[in-house]
Structure 1
């Protein structure tokens, strides 16, 4: 892991850009003399690590005493674009506007992204846990629910997970949801135009976790109330501190 930039932000959080092989990422860490828990924060597939909503969440959680890290998925953000993924995204947007079935297009886009992203996230996790000031346990938080499901199943170091939305998740991850047993916080926007409500509720029901909590709020995809950040941090505090 090679750090390429560093700046101390006005909330005391240290923000550092890094590269790990071909993987670009960002790490936010609080001012702390003791090792802190680590949060892996993945955004919706196709959105870059510099997306303002992700950065705002990461800085807020880091200021609460966590190390927070994110990376760009292949073909996203600072990584070379993928012609196949861009075509699949265009097909998905066209189908949504036309009200056509989305499952097969979604499978062709998100399924391969998950398969490629999981090894990269595990490699990044290995490198992050070797850094001074970062200990365990590890949590996952993000809008890329399919990736979070797979990581929660295959990565034993993840002790708790927070997912956003989840209406459209590939078949493989809908089946894997039954194997997720870590404590879970699931956020649902009741009027989310991009995530069918019943499918999200069915996914929540499928999770195998004995402790799982659903927070549902009125509003569209980007209308998650700001107080959910505070509630999310309390969830992390219960299970990671």
Structure 2
């Protein structure tokens, strides 16, 4: 795997700027991780370019490292310095116009916005996993998926058996095809829902949660908008990953 640069922070993690197969990425590893005590990996999803999201990703990485986990994030297709996805950008602008106008968001628009991201991002994530899990300080599985574009996380759980814990934030639009995929997924699930999230279809989020075939699934709903996630929600999500990845810690 191509590592562009590495640095040690003052809070116990080693930050690696990586470039697996030409896709910009960030890998954060606890200083305590080694060949004898490899760290389990959590894939961190996010909604944009790495440069813009880096401060928030590092906060999440430090929290995960305190629990003994390494974390990795890739830049989304079409985001940051990557080649723009013209049709996706057009769909995103239309979505914003409809939200501002109070107009309905139909399935066709959601498909145009989300489906191309899923079809491009998931193969990139799986290829990056192949590279990262070969590192001696990283446990070779299982892995967790945390946050990001919901449909990408669902597809990862559907197609990659290395994903043993799925943590979703019900804050992005979901194609109907994602609901169908969820019915075949048995991966343990922890879903966070902000009850007053103006940009999220609450009924669709509840429908998605209900669709999962997982025998262990938890829905945590809190009052407040998209950015008013309470601190204890992060603590609960951390305990979820500890339960399902701890055997490799």
SS in 2 for 1:21: helix
TM-score for the superposition, normalised by structure 2: 0.92
Structure 2 residue runs of 5 or longer lacking an equivalent are none
Corresponding residue number in structure 2 for 1:67: 70
The aligned counterpart of 1:6 is 6
In 2, Cα distance between equivalents of 1:216 and 1:55: 25
Distance 1:145 1:77 in 2: 19
- Please tell me whether residue 216 in structure 1 is matched to residue 221 in structure 2: yes
For structure 1, which segment, 12-21 or 58-67, has the greater mean C-alpha deviation from structure 2 after superposition? 58-67
Q: Deviations over 1:90-148 (max 9, x none)?
A: 11111111122223222101011101111111000000111111012211101311001
- Specify the alignment match of 1:133 in structure 2: 137
TM-score scaled by structure 1? 0.95
Match of 1:194 in 2: 199
Q: In 1, are the aligned partners of 2:13 and 2:31 still within 8 Å (CA)?
A: yes
Asked if residue 112 in structure 1 is aligned to residue 113 in structure 2, the reply is no
C-alpha RMSD of the superposition: 1.3
Alignment of 1:25-64 (within 5 A): 25-32=25-32, 33=34, 34-44=37-47, 47-50=48-51, 51=53, 52-64=55-67
CA contact (8 A) 1:35 1:132 kept: yes
2:163 corresponds to? 158
Aligned residues: 239
How far does residue 150 in structure 1 lie from its aligned partner after superposition? 0.6
Instruction: State the Cα distance separating 1:236 from its structure 2 match.
Output: 0.6
Other structure's SS at 1:193 match: coil
Distance 2:172 2:128 in 1: 27
User: What is the alpha-carbon distance in structure 2 between the residues aligned to residue 77 and residue 64 of structure 1?
Assistant: 30
Instruction: Work out whether residues 167 and 203 of structure 1, in 8 Å CA contact, stay in contact via their aligned partners in 2.
Output: no
Residue in 2 that maps onto 1:121? 125
Q: What residue is the counterpart of 1:233 in the other structure?
A: 238
Give 3-state SS (helix, strand or coil) of 2:103's partner. coil
1:178–1:208 CA contact under 8 A, matched in 2: yes
Please give the alpha-carbon distance, in whole angstroms, between the structure 1 residues aligned to 2:50 and 2:234: 18
Unaligned runs of 5+ in 1: none
